Amino acid sequence: DGGITQSPKYLFRKEGQNVTLSCEQNLNHDAMYWYRQDPGQGLRLIYYSQIVNDFQKGDIAEGYSVSREKKESFPLTVTSAQKNPTAFYLCASSKGQGAWNTEAFFGQGTRLTVV
Amino acid sequence: GNSVTQMEGPVTLSEEAFLTINCTYTATGYPSLFWYVQYPGEGLQLLLKATKADDKGSNKGFEATYRKETTSFHLEKGSVQVSDSAVYFCALILIYNQGGKLIFGQGTELSVKP
């Protein structure tokens, strides 16, 4: 079955460490997105990518980095520069710009906790 | 800029009550509109969508109509169930050379009591 997979589901990080969250999709989608969700709040866009080897900053990109070397993969690195990284992270994909049927599909999320 | 505004929650209803969650948008261009639902600890699932003005999206008893004149996409259900308790997100995406950016409202938490 096609879908979008995030791993791990739970992740613990010590202060000062970088961690990488995985996001893989086998839907042949061009566009991929990373969102951050804090308790009781909506989704804030971190980074998005419309095509391989290209990505754009979202609203809260500081302290995060991404890469898009393959169409199916869009890993997110939370760096030590991110001052408050504890949150629920959601990855999504869609057919992308210009596609008529452009709803996004979401992974199950990764809950990151700084200890 | 482009944005989505939803009514604030939490919304608490009794089972079989009528539900309306308001959503309005601002967009430069011609967006497609969506409602997503999020159950506790999970990702978002697409509930329904509409891709042009006057389209009505529907699924599982929920409906929303794309109103260009009022820039709205309000979610409705005639009779809610306890299992509908979740957070609901209104969203838009701009296609056709607008960058394909997916924009969400802040979410509205719905709690349905037996």
| Rounded-to-integer distance, Cα B14 and Cα B33, Å | 28
- Residue B5 burial by CB count (10 A; 0-12/13-18/19+): exposed, middle or buried? middle
Q: What would the two tokens of residue A7 be?
A: 């791993």
Q: How far is CA B45 from the centre of its chain?
A: 11
Residue A34: C-alpha distances to residues A77, A86, B7, B12 (Å): 11, 15, 24, 30
Q: What is the mean pLDDT of chain B?
A: 91
Which residue of chain B has the CA closest to A90? B43
E strand intervals along B1-114: 3-6, 11-14, 19-21, 23-26, 31-38, 44-50, 56-59, 62-65, 75-77, 86-94, 102-104, 108-113
The predicted structure's pLDDT at residue A52:
93
| Rounded-to-integer distance, Cα B90 and Cα B32, Å | 11
pLDDT at B111 over 70: yes
Question: What is the tens place of the pLDDT at every residue in B22-73?
Answer: 999 998 877 889 999 999 888 899 999 998 899 999 999 999 999 999 999 9
Interface of A with B in 30-89 (CB under 8 A): 31, 33, 35, 40-43, 45, 48, 50, 56
Using CB atoms, pick whichever of A6, A48, A99 lies closest to residue B101. Answer: A48
B48 contacts B34 by C-beta, under 8 angstroms: yes
| Rounded-to-integer distance, Cα A73 and Cα B39, Å | 25
CB contact under 8 A, A103 and B101: no
Give the confidence band of B95 by pLDDT, cuts at 50, 70, 90.
Answer: low
pLDDT at B101 over 80: no
Average pLDDT of span B82-96: 88
Average pLDDT of span B7-30: 93
What residue ranges of chain A have pLDDT lower than 50? none
Look-up: residue for tokens 């509109």? B33
* Rg of chain A (C-alpha set): 13
The predicted structure's pLDDT at residue B1:
78
Give the confidence band of B99 by pLDDT, cuts at 50, 70, 90.
Answer: low
A33 contacts A92 by C-beta, under 8 angstroms: yes
| Rounded-to-integer distance, Cα A33 and Cα A43, Å | 11
The predicted structure's pLDDT at residue A2:
72
A29 contacts A48 by C-beta, under 8 angstroms: no
The predicted structure's pLDDT at residue A75:
98
B42 contacts A108 by C-beta, under 8 angstroms: yes
The predicted structure's pLDDT at residue B31:
87
CB contact under 8 A, A50 and B102: no
